[in-house]
Amino acid sequence: MRKIPLLVLAVLTLTVAGCTWGIKLNEGGKKVHTAWTQDVSQCKQLGRVTVSVMDRVGPIDRNDIKVRDELEVMARNEAASMGADTVKPLGEPLDGEQAWGAYQCGQAAMKPAAATTGTSAQPQDGSAQTYPVEGN
């Protein structure tokens, strides 16, 4: 009798582990930049992309970082098919779904968005900024 719950747990674990196998950045998506804090007001808006993934399997919540990563990958892939070179999240993920703006920025230099106080988002204390590794 005790073997049945262990079997169910094993199947559920394999199901959760297998959720990310099919979500990969395609060749077009690799060319799409994610503008997290950059100002895209000088870019041409091509549309809106709404993507979704499973954020929970049964009673188990999936890792929030994995869910967010998958949503970004899917948004970049979808935006590439629209001819966009940049995506920007339009809000936070909710129940595994997130809306993104798809933009064509070309060679336009995107500046970091200004903070609500009107100051630049650039660090003023000489600290470094981080950027994603190419291909991710």
pLDDT digits (tens, 9 = 90+) for 60-98: 999 999 999 999 999 999 999 999 999 999 999 999 999
Q: How do 44-52 and 56-57 pair as beta strands?
A: unpaired
Q: Are 53 and 70 in contact (CB under 8 A)?
A: yes
Residue whose pair of structure tokens reads 């979704």 in the numeric block:
52
Q: Are 90 and 100 in contact (CB under 8 A)?
A: yes
Residue whose pair of structure tokens reads 């950027």 in the numeric block:
131
> How far is the C-alpha of 77 from the C-alpha of 75, rounded, in Å?
5
Report pTM: 0.67
Going along the chain from its start, the domains and CATH numbers come out as: 22-104 (3.30.1660)
